[in-house]
Structures are given as C-alpha cells and as structure tokens.
Structure 1
Amino acid sequence: MKKILFVTDLYYNANGRRYYEEDLFITSKLRDEFKLVICNPKDMDSFNDEFDLTIFRNAGPVANFPDEYNKFRNKIKANNLKTYNSFDGKGDMNGKDYLLELTNLNYPVIKTIDRIDNFDKLPNVDKYVIKPKDGADSIGMEIISKDEVYKKVSKEDRNTLIQPAINFEYEVSFYFIDKDFQYALYAPDKSKRWELKEYKATKEDLEFANKFIEWNNIDHGIQRIDACRDENGELLLVELEDLNPYLSVLELSSDVQDKFIKSLVKSVNRVLEEK
C-alpha cells in the first residue's frame, strides 16, 4: 500500500466549521486504501519526503505558519515530490491577486482593485469591503463607507483588496475533484455562512463554475468555487479556493459522501500511479 502524509491542524478553531471532524472522517475512509499518517503543518517538512504523497488539507490559514509553508513548497518543487492538491493553481494557493486578474479579464467576479487610485473602476455603492491579500477566514476584512476606504487605504498600499459590498441573495459553493463536479452547497440564510444545505446546481450554474475550473487548470486536487447570487440573479465569484478548501462533507447525505470519497480515492490513485 502507498504511504500518504495527511497534513492538517486538528486543533485549528474555525468559526462555524469542524475541521478536525471533517478530516478524521476523510482519513478514516482513506485508510481503507492507503497507509496514512496525520501530521501538523508545522512538522510537515520533517517527514514529507518519506511518503509517496502529501495531502494538504484543513491546515488553517498559511499566514499562521508562513516559514513552514514556503519551505514546504520550495522542497516540493526542488525534489519533484507529489502533493495533493498540485501546486500549479492560480487561485488562493498564491494569495488573492487572481481576483484582480479575473476582474481585468471581465470574468463574472466581484470587481476588485488593489490601488486606491483605481477606485473609479468600482461601482458606486453604499459600502465597500477591504481585506488583506494574504488573509483567510475573513481575517482583517472590514465593511466600510467610501470615505473610510480613503482614510484606511493609502496611495502606497498594494496589499489591500477593495471591493463593493454586494447585497446578495445567498452564497453557494461548487465542489470539484480535478475538473469533475461533485456537489454544491448553499447558505439560504446569508447571515449564517456555514449553515449549509445541499443545492441542486443548474446547467447555467455549472457553466459559471466551470469557467473558473478551466481558467485555473490545476493538474489534480479539490477545488471549491465560492459565489454569491446578486440582486439581479447573477452569480459572481467570491473566492477560488484551490489550496485546502473546507468541504462541509459531514453536511452531505450518505450517498453524496460515498460518491465524493470514491472520486477522491480514484483521483489520488491516479496521482500515485503517475511517473
């Protein structure tokens, strides 16, 4: 049996999410197929070259362990080690600059700038969102007025993203393994982001999500496309999570859980079999 290093922080406390329960469930299933060891992200560089594959999962924001994360990525590249996800994505695994790129490419995304001089490129709304480029889990995010944006973001600042605050109907997430759609979940009460229910994605919904999956074009791994439905009924991208997306797998029906685990095992085996 192949050996897998499963990187996660079982003690990371995420608001509204049970990281440790999700990863204990997933590892309990993967153990049927692989030899598996769970490792804290701060220890991963000591062991990852002893395994056939490192699966990077619910490790919390990498801002909590930047040195270990950068060393990990450099080591993976230098030694051609196998990871899951692959580190060739263009989304959250590299920070939030992709939101600027997608804005400039006119993708259906919440318009985003990182220069106060470009403020006129944003729609005129009552409130705006500012957040650090290296943020996660809403850390450092603020919803403020236009006047406050000019006070808080200097002309020299290039590390803060600025977006219009969207008055959306609900948030919805689409989950993929490699490029294959698995399931969708949404928050019918927009004030409770992580109280999720299964969502029946339409053809148009999947066309929207697939635009970002094709754009990102990672070799293998799990991706979560987070979107919001605006007042006009259109979907807009909020985030392309391609590093270690929380899966809310415990909220799924047993049939969908089984389908997801089978797809995950198949994908991992494909990676392990590659030369």
Structure 2
Amino acid sequence: MADARPRILYVSDLAYPARGRRYCDEDILLTSRLRAEFDLALCHPREAAALMDAFDAVVVRNSGPVLGYRAEYDAFRERALRQGTRVYNPLTGRADMAGKQYLLDLSAAGLPVIPTVDRAEDLHRLPGADRYVVKPRLGADSIGLRVVTSAELPALADGTVLVQPHVDFAHEVSFCFVDDAFQYALYAPDPDRRWELEPYEPTVRDLEFARRFIEWNGLRHGIQRVDACRAPDGELLLVELEDLNPYLSLDALDEDRREAFVTAFAASLHRFLDVVPAH
C-alpha cells in the first residue's frame, strides 16, 4: 500500500426501518471508529456504483434487503466484478449473497440445516409437521414469509419459494465471525421477540457447528453471521448464513466485546486491502 491512508466507501442505508432495531446506530459507531485508520465516506447503496471508482475498497454493511434496489445492486455487482473492485465482503460468497439456493443444496447434502425444498415433487423429503413455512427464494428480512398447512403446499411449491417445516425451536442463536475468527454469539431467549438478543456463551459443539458453514463458504475476508435454531432434540439447525450485509447487534454486547469486534474488523480491512484484486 502507498503511504496515503486507504480510502473506504462505506455503504449503508441509514434510514432503513427495522422492527425493534436502529441499524443506523451500528454504522454510525463503526464509521466513527474506522475513520481513525481510514479515509472514509458513507453512501446509500443506490449510489455505490457511481462513486466506488474513487476509493480503494467498498465496504457493504447495513444496506437493507437487495429487493428494494435490485437493478442498482445488480449493476454495482457486475461493474465491481468487471473492474476488479475490492468489495468487502468479497462478491464470491456462496450463501445469502448468491440467493437461497444454498439452503436447498445443503439440505439435500444432509447437512444440519432446516429441511428445505422448492418444488411439489420434493415435498416428500420434508418431515411431517402441523405447519410449514413458505418464503420467497429472493426474500429477505422475513419479507413474504407465510405459515401454511400441508394441504396448501402443492399449489405453492412452484420453484419460486422455499418450503420448510415449522420448527418449534427453543431459541435462535447467531454466531459472528470476522474472516475465519469467531467473535461473539447472541441468542433470543423468546422466539416471539427475535430482535431482543442477549450474549450467549457457545459450547465447543456449538462452535464446531458454526465453523462448518464458515469453512463451506470459503470467504478469506469479511463479516459473516451464522444463524441457527435449537431444535427440540437439542441440536442446532442452520437457518441462514448471512454473508452480504449481516446486522451485528453490537448494542447487545458489553464494551469489551464491542471494542474487540471493532479492532478485529479494522484489522481485517487492512489485510483485505493488501490483497491484489482479481481481474
């Protein structure tokens, strides 16, 4: 790197409305800290493609569901890949960044994922349940999610949705990683209030579960969040592997862990900027 400080274009939708959360607070905190080490400008996701050429890297953070600006995101992604622009997280993610196909693939491979199919002819692969969850393949943030009976499934499973059994889980737990290093875990003791998170101390078995999906995704750099639910038998099942713009819930951490995360994030960005982008 040159002697000049690295220039970061930090992408966030500060006005994104989220139930029970203020995503903008997280990005205000992170950008205020990163400015100690980087020259940083903040922009809305719709503006990223037009501005990114003036920066050494683009950091995509709380940019909201891509569904809200699909055309602009696709143009940004295509241009970044064509030009070899450094994007953090790198655009090679195999999980939510690429859609929901990974849930079907991992389920078919027998990994510990909530069983998932998308077509009527595959419904027999799902375990019997009183209710089922149907959600769009291109959905995010529970947009379009429905809970239905088994009788409704054949008409709905047309390849455009994901179908999963409704799991009566004990709680949800999220594991946050920077690069391949575990940072912290949070869980929601009340399944009906998923946004009220508390610190969670994972077991060795819990971390083995989470690391399995981090390793599967293969991102050398970036922030990833492994979301899981605790099934009735006590085992964890993957709900989502968020590798595009995971919300971090930093306000649920104590000061020491929050500071440790910020330090790890900044160090990861420095390592990422030393990597020669692929053209």
**Normalising TM by the smaller chain, what interval?**
over 0.9
SS of 1:140's equivalent in the other structure is coil
Alignment partner, residue 262 of structure 1: 263
Alignment partner, residue 121 of structure 2: 117
Unaligned runs of 5+ in 2: none
SS of 1:93's equivalent in the other structure is helix
1:199-246: per-residue Cα shift (whole Å, max 9, x none)? 001100000001100101112100000000011100000000000000
Query: Which amino acid letter does the alignment assign opposite residue 226 of structure 2?
Result: I
Q: What does 1:1-275 correspond to in 2, within 5 Å?
A: 1-151=5-155, 153=156, 157-275=158-276
SS of 2:9's equivalent in the other structure is strand
Query: Which amino acid letter does the alignment assign opposite residue 16 of structure 2?
Result: Y
SS of 2:159's equivalent in the other structure is coil
Deviates more, 1:142-151 or 1:28-37: 142-151
State the alpha-carbon separation in 1 of the partners of residues 66 and 220 from structure 2: 21
State the alpha-carbon separation in 2 of the partners of residues 124 and 107 from structure 1: 19
SS of 1:47's equivalent in the other structure is helix
Are the equivalent residues in 2 in contact too, given 1:88–1:219 (CA < 8 A)?
Answer: no
Unaligned runs of 5+ in 1: none
State the alpha-carbon separation in 2 of the partners of residues 211 and 71 from structure 1: 32
Query: Which amino acid letter does the alignment assign opposite residue 206 of structure 2?
Result: D
Are the equivalent residues in 2 in contact too, given 1:55–1:84 (CA < 8 A)?
Answer: yes
Query: Which amino acid letter does the alignment assign opposite residue 57 of structure 2?
Result: L
SS of 1:29's equivalent in the other structure is helix
State the alpha-carbon separation in 2 of the partners of residues 58 and 51 from structure 1: 19
Are the equivalent residues in 2 in contact too, given 1:45–1:72 (CA < 8 A)?
Answer: yes
1:16 deviation in Å?
2.1
The TM-score, its normalising length taken from structure 1, stands at 0.97
- The CA RMSD over aligned residues, in Å, is 0.8
1:136 deviation in Å?
0.4
State the alpha-carbon separation in 2 of the partners of residues 255 and 54 from structure 1: 27
State the alpha-carbon separation in 2 of the partners of residues 119 and 187 from structure 1: 30
SS of 2:225's equivalent in the other structure is strand
State the alpha-carbon separation in 2 of the partners of residues 174 and 255 from structure 1: 17
1:9-39: per-residue Cα shift (whole Å, max 9, x none)? 0001011221111110111110111111010
Structure 1 segments, 4+ long, off by >3 Å, are: none
SS of 1:65's equivalent in the other structure is helix
Say how many residue pairs are matched: 272
State the alpha-carbon separation in 2 of the partners of residues 210 and 105 from structure 1: 17
SS of 2:92's equivalent in the other structure is coil
State the alpha-carbon separation in 2 of the partners of residues 148 and 120 from structure 1: 14
State the alpha-carbon separation in 2 of the partners of residues 242 and 207 from structure 1: 18
State the alpha-carbon separation in 2 of the partners of residues 94 and 63 from structure 1: 13
1:117 deviation in Å?
1.1
